[in-house]
Structure 1
Amino acid sequence: MKLPSFSRKVSYGAFTAGKPTVRTSVLPIDAVTIEHMAPSDQRHSSLDGYIRSIGRHYVAAVVVMTMLIGATYQTVEIALDRHSLQQDISYLTGRQFIRFQQLTNQTRAVMSASANAEMPEYIIKPMVDDVRKAIGDIRAMSTQLNELHGKLERNLLEKLNTRDAASEEMRLELAGRLEDFLKRADRVVSAKLEDRRQRYSFWGPIDFAASSDSMLMRQFSALIDSAHDSSDGSIDHARLISAVLLSLTATALILATSILFMPLLRRLRNEHRRTIDFESKLTHQAHTDALTSLSNRSSFNDALIAFFVSLERSGTGFSMLLVDLDHFKGINDSLGHPAGDAVLRHVARILQGTFRSTDIVARLGGDEFAVLLPGLADIAALEALAERAVAAIGAEFSFDGRGLPISASIGGAIAPQHAADETSLTRVADLALYAAKAKRNTAVIFDEASLARRLEENQLAAALAFAADRDEFVVYYQQKVNLQTGEHLGFEALVRWNHPRLGILPPGRFLPLVEGSHLISSMTRCVVNIAARDLKAWKAAGLRPGSVAVNLPEVLLLGRDGYDIIAAAIRANDLEWRDFAVEVTEDVFLNRGASQILETITRFRERGMSVSLDDFGTGFASLVHLRDFPFDELKIDRSFVADLGSDIRSEQIVGAMINLARNLGKRCVAEGIETKTQQDFLLQAGCEIGQGYLFAKPEPASAAVERLTVSNRGTRIASRRTMRIAG
């Protein structure tokens, strides 16, 4: 940028020995006047004239110096005003950039949440409000920026400089692109929830990634750089012009300069230092995660690109680890975001302490972290490091005096062994992470087996989407018996998937693919309807099946869906409410909608249905929960029953559970009984009901009918014997 040229003619003469000398010219006295003057009068007249001449030059000098001082002061003020406007533009552009990044993340979050059928609308609404607020903030900043640019155009120094047409064109183009993006975001949040769920479930995030992470990002960066350069140019202008003007006033203006200008110069220097500090902070914020102080996704991507450039140049390999926390959503939902934030900061500290100082640890967003390990290309060493990180994260963590269970799944890959570019390396590391998440709390380094398992899971997930419509879900029944007499008491309904190619699949094979999706509702409806039809057929045949227990997930307990599914099945098959029982897990106590769940459970019990607390001992139930929650039956998890007869601690725990249920006036059911030793211990401890392979495995309806027939025949024979004895 060229500086404006100034030329002034000053009547102060040349500089001598670094000091300005003032040329003075004494006006000549008229000769006639001199002739008529006395010598003394002539001297006085000459002196007076000289004094008057000096006075006039002094006044002229003062006026000129004052003008120079004023011109210098005014010029600095104009330059300072220009710099201040450019500083404000740079600062506001940076704020708008940061707010824009927040908007893209918030909009993606709204789309992701909207695509999740399990996500209640009352959770999505505040997210939508945040997006609307961000849109308003960005538009307000755009208005302020336009006002600042208008003021800058009216600045004298700005008028004297040649306008940077390319920068102005880029600014206008960015404003247009940004407004187009805001309209996109506004359309997303203005759409109805169902429209967002259908339209944005897949293409929405891709659309926003394309619109927010490419041209807009580059133009923001270029505009911030341009504003920074212009700000520095303003400071250079102010210094140069001040030096030129001050050099003309020289020594005579030193005092005035010291009084008037030095504070301004110090202010300019302070402004420049603040500008540098601000730019440094802005750069730091743009590449740092605010919550954990780790590198963010942008910084991580830059580092990954640099690593591949180094790989091409030196051939030195490196590794990547992707870290995803297990069940993090449950912590956020149950304990709130402060607990979630504390967990994320804790995990960040753990990762920084686990890996080398030269390794790059980043938070990609949400509960996702990533690590780049330069120079590490050995699978065994990478696996050992990943497992050490899993173990460190899994150590006990306390929040507000309460221990929180934390675990993580880690997937890893090595360049160039597994991939030769950024996209491929990320993809294979993600495949390994997916394999790790299938097991939870483990680390998996990519191999071909991981890829094969991922492809198989994808195929299963695709087929699972149509399983309910094709009536591929079937129900197996596991018997509940009286431990003392062996009498049949009822069944638990367990879902199976009759895959058209793979046959009957156990729930562990496909339920992880159902969790967190709308499929859980359709699958549960199928199970309830099948169980209702079987109950109707058994009762019509004169059998006494007892109640059939069905497991209802939290999402169906939060509203009326679960209640309506069972009510519709009862009406359609002319059944009674007591023909069904409901089983819920301890996790319902941690749900933020626990009051809604309690309301639904209460409605079931008012209808005469039995409610069981399933998998007791594996969740977060407290004595307060057990006291206040309206359940009829407590089911001891099979993990405790399995060690009866071999582990004194398990025996003590099971005994305590049975006593607790008895003291609360609840029935106690033991799951997973497989040996006579386990049955004997439970009977002796006071547990009267059980289920497990010792009595019956989960079996299809046809086998359950045979078991019911035999059980009913035995019951009738026993009844007749009792009657004969009584007679």
Structure 2
Amino acid sequence: MSDWDWSYMENELAPTDKRHSSLEGYIRSIGRHYVAAVIIMTMLIGATYQTVEIALDRHSLQQDISYLTGRQFIRFQQLTNQTRAVMKASADPQMPEYIIKPMVEDVRKAIDDIRSMSGQLEELHGKLERNLLEKLNPRDTASEQMRVELAGRLEDFLKRADRVVSAKAQDRRQRYSFWGPIDFAVSSDSLLMRQFSTLIDNAHDRSDGSIDHARLISAVLLGLTAAALILATAILFMPLVRKLRNEHRRTVDFETKLTHQAHTDALTSLSNRSSFNDALSGFFASLEQIGTGFSMLLVDLDHFKGINDSVGHPAGDAVLRHVARMLQGTFRSTDIVARLGGDEFAILLPGIADATALEVLAKRAVAAIATEFCFDGRILPVSASIGGAAVPQHAADEATLMRVADLALYAAKAKRNTAVIFDEASLAQRLEENQLAAALAFAADRNEFLVYYQQKVNLQSGAHLGFEALVRWHHPRLGILPPGRFLSLMEGSHFISSMTRCVVNSVARDLKTWKAAGLRPGSVAINLPEVLLVGSDGYDLIAAAVRAHQLEWRDFAVEVTEDVFLNRSASQIMETITRFREHGMSVSLDDFGTGFASLVHLRDFPFDELKIDRSFVSDLGRDLRSEQIVRAMIDLARNLGKRCVAEGIENETQRDFLLGAGCEVGQGYLYAKPEPASAAVERLAVPYLATRRPSRRTMQIAR
């Protein structure tokens, strides 16, 4: 090849080489820019990722703080209720120690849990303070100070709760029997509740702020990236953004649920005490601003403890849900129906400030609650007592409203299954009952309880058979009081045991005196309360009286009501009754037909006499249905091989009917009214004569 050819080729190939060189340089330039872009993007992505991770870490810590604070708040409410339950149970002398002990352990467990949560919260707050974004944000001094104050108040509350459960049972009973639960509720439901709620709200708000910071920084950093990397950025970060949104949504849902749980009763889905107190405060604030009056009703179930004891707590829970449904169906949707705790309910009625209208609504609620309620195939007796008051007619502040409504409720509970709206008469009655209750505490020690005796006779011959011992209270100021005036004040207290001991000892002394005088009083029947029949107290009491006064066991008889069949401790009561009968004591089933005993109970329970309640006897000669029922009772007793005793015989017509139906024994004003031992002893030597029957006027006075 010639030199020309080479020169030509070089000239032709030179542009191509240049183009190739330029293309390679462009490619290299693109590569350099791409590498730089990748490095920058990598740095931006790394910075974005790191920022988001820091924000997420901060958000997660705040979430954990919010969640743990919420759990601590719920555990605190549980501790409050558990401690109140321990105090209430400790105030009940009938409550066995094996029931109180697990309740005390639950309180201690709650205290340990709350303190453990406090330690975890301190650790989380320490981690949060080390977070970079937290350091860049201004410090929330007020929230931090509130958190420290809450920790101090909470620890003080825990110490008080610990002192409650650490105290001996007797100390708790004496110290917390009345004002303890009220003081405890006041100390736990006010400032601590508000501080908990504020801290939860603050944690929620700062959690939202963390998400907002993450979004803002991510948007700024991602805005600096090239358009070509939008898809990659979307692929990398959209799932993360979706995760943040989902987590935020879950956080909002959790906070909503937590707030709902904090203000809702779990069993009935009604408002709880905290929500009720907030609403009540709001109503008074509205009253000050626009002057709109409102009313409040307090509801307390009758004999609810008996349902729990006899049928069990599942039945009690079912009754509470039934009452909640009845109340919701009775009142308007704008009315606030709440369960305050236990068997206590309350209703706030905005716009109703007239006592007459309030009474109509309260009576409607009483009727609704008293409808038949069936649980596990059996009808349970459900009724309620309701007390109410109106604002501003009866009260101008929360404390006064609660006090006067409670006074009205107390007056209603004295009658059962009724509604009472506050008035001055209710206040006077409550004060009188309080004075009687205070005097009862010393009645046994001062020997103020008296025993009256009502004679039991053979209906055919009128011959004396024995007595029933009936208690009277010789009040130092009011004179002789019948049991209807004071027995209801003894429910749930140890006073009834002290009174029964006085009755047994008085009967034993009288029996010894009569027998020493050569008289034949027969057996004297004593009503023993269930608290003395559960365990050996009742047996020991009679045994001590027999030994101390050289009596025989058959000188005494025991009367029990058919409610003992439904008592949770029925088996223990049956053991005590069996021990009595083994010594020759007669056992009577009193007030038969007024309770809920079944034929199975009658078949299995060891008794000797069946007593027909006076409510059936009083209608003999006037009501065919009562007559049929009495005949059936007498036939039932005869078929079971038991004696039949009729109470409340007041006229010859009733006596003749009972004789014709086959009843053997009777008692009532036709034969003798309840009278002191000095008068009753005269009947031991004088047989019954029809001409000695007391007049109707005498019988009315005797009652």
TM-score, normalising length from structure 2? Answer: 0.94
Kindly tell me: are residues 98 and 246 of structure 1, through their superposed partners in 2, closer, same or farther at Cα, counting changes over 3 Å? same
Correspondence for 1:124? 100
SS at match of 1:238: helix
Q: Structure 1: 5+ residue runs without aligned partners? A: 1-34, 715-727
User: Which stretch shows the higher mean deviation, 46-55 or 472-481?
Assistant: 46-55
Query: Are 1:238 and 2:236 an aligned pair?
Result: no
CA distance in 1, matches of 2:643, 2:513: 28
* 85, 94, 97: which one aligns with 1:109: 85
Q: Deviations over 1:321-373 (max 9, x none)?
A: 11111000000111111111111111111111111222111111111111111
Alpha-carbon deviations, 1:240-293, whole Å to 9, x = none? 111110111142331122111111111111122122222221221122111111
Please list, as runs of the form range in 1=range in 2, the aligned pairs for 1:552-571 lying within 5 A after superposition.
Answer: 552-571=528-547
Letter in 1 for 2:240: L
Deviation at 1:695, TM superposition (A): 0.7
Match of 1:405 in 2: 381
Q: Which whole-Å CA distance do the structure 2 matches of 1:375 and 1:164 have between them?
A: 42
Matched, 1:471 2:457: no
Q: Distance in 2 between matches of 1:55 and 1:303?
A: 70
1:456 is matched with 432
**Contact 1:68–1:245 under 8 Å retained in 2:** yes
Identity %: 86
Counterpart in the other structure of 2:574: 598
Are 2:462 and 2:687, in contact at CA under 8 Å, matched by a contact in 1?
no
Query: The residue matched to 1:695 in structure 2 has which SS?
Result: coil
Distance 1:371 1:209 in 2: 19
Separation in 2, partners of 1:161, 1:305: 36
**Alpha-carbon separation, structure 1, partners of 2:46 and 2:474:** 92
Q: Does residue 1:432 correspond to 2:382, yes or no? A: no
- Give the conservation status (yes or no) of the 8 Å contact 1:69–1:256: no
Structure 1 position 377, deviation (Å): 2.1
The amino acid across from 1:235 in the alignment is: I
Change (3 A) 1:210 1:292: closer
Deviations 1:195-228 (A, max 9, x none): 2212332453355235422332232122112111
Alignment partners' CA distance in 2, 1:486 and 1:90: 81
| Equivalent position of 2:49 in the other structure | 73
Between stretches 119-128 and 651-660, larger displacement belongs to: 119-128
Q: 1:698 aligns with which of 667, 674, 680?
A: 674
What does 1:108-257 correspond to in 2, within 5 Å?
108-257=84-233
Aligned to 1:29: none
Residue number among 362, 371, 388 corresponding to 2:338 in the alignment: 362
Q: Distance in 2 between matches of 1:317 and 1:524?
A: 49
- Of the structure 1 ranges 211-220 and 542-551, higher mean CA displacement relative to structure 2 is found in 211-220
| Bigger Cα displacement from structure 2, 698-707 vs 304-313 | 304-313
Counterpart contact for 1:289–1:295, Cα < 8 Å: yes
Q: Quote how far apart the aligned CAs of 1:593 are.
A: 1.0
Distance in 2 separating the partners of 1:692 and 1:713: 14
Alpha-carbon offset, residue 38 of structure 1? 4.7
TM-score (norm 1): 0.91
**Structure 2: how far apart are the matches of 1:87 and 1:342?**
37
Equivalent residue number for residue 290 of structure 1: 266
What is the distance in 1 between the residues matched to 2:686 and 2:642? 29
> Contact (CA 8 Å) 1:645, 1:677: kept in 2 or not?
yes
Gaps of 5+ in 2: 1-10, 691-703
**Counterpart Cα distance in 2 of 1:49 and 1:373:** 86
Instruction: Report if aligned partners of 1:111, 1:205 keep a CA contact under 8 Å in 2.
Output: yes
Q: 1:50 to 1:316 in 2, by over 3 A?
A: closer
Q: Is the 8 A contact 2:452 2:472 kept in 1?
A: yes
Tell me what 1:550 maps to: 526
- Are 2:643 and 1:667 aligned? yes
**CA displacement, residues 703-726 of structure 1 (integer Å, 9 cap, x when unaligned):** 101111224999xxxxxxxxxxxx
Look up the equivalent residue of 1:143 and give its one-letter code.
G
1:577 is matched with which residue: 531, 548, 553?
553
Q: Is the 8 A contact 1:544 1:712 kept in 2?
A: no
Q: How far 1:576 moved relative to its partner?
A: 0.8
Q: Name the SS for the 1:369 alignment partner.
A: strand
Residue aligning to 1:526: 502
- Structure 1 residue 398: Cα displacement: 0.5
- State the match for 1:710 in structure 2: 686
Asked if the contact 1:325/1:368 (under 8 Å) is kept, the reply is yes
CA distance in 2, matches of 1:376, 1:203: 31
Residue of 574, 578, 590 corresponding to 1:614: 590
Residue in 1 that maps onto 2:308? 332
1:17 is matched with: none
> Structure 2: how far apart are the matches of 1:50 and 1:354?
86
For 2:102 and 2:49, locate their aligned partners in 1 and report how far apart those are by CA, in whole Å.
52
Once the two structures are superposed, residues 619-667 of structure 1 have per-residue CA deviations (whole angstroms, 9 ceiling, x without a partner) of 1211111111111111111111111111111111111111111111111
How many pairs are equivalent? 679
Contact 1:615/1:635, CA 8 A, preserved across alignment: yes
- TM-superposition CA deviations, 1:10-40 (whole Å, max 9, x none): xxxxxxxxxxxxxxxxxxxxxxxxx9x9554
- In structure 2, relative to structure 1, the CA distance for the partners of 1:278 and 1:713 (3 Å cut) is closer
Contact 1:636 1:668 in 2 (8 A): yes
Secondary structure at the residue paired with 1:112? helix
Task: Compare 50-59 and 195-204 and name the one that shifted more.
Answer: 195-204
Looking at structure 2, the residues matched to 377 and 181 of structure 1 have their Cα atoms a distance apart, in angstroms, of 38
Match of 2:236 in 1: 260
Question: In structure 2, how many angstroms separate the alpha carbons of the residues matched to 1:635 and 1:384?
Answer: 40
Write the distance in 2 (CA, Å) between the matches of 1:316 and 1:396.
Answer: 37
Q: Residue 76 of structure 1 aligns to which amino acid in structure 2?
A: V
Deviations along 1:367-399, whole A, 9 cap, x unmatched? Answer: 111111112122222111111111111111101
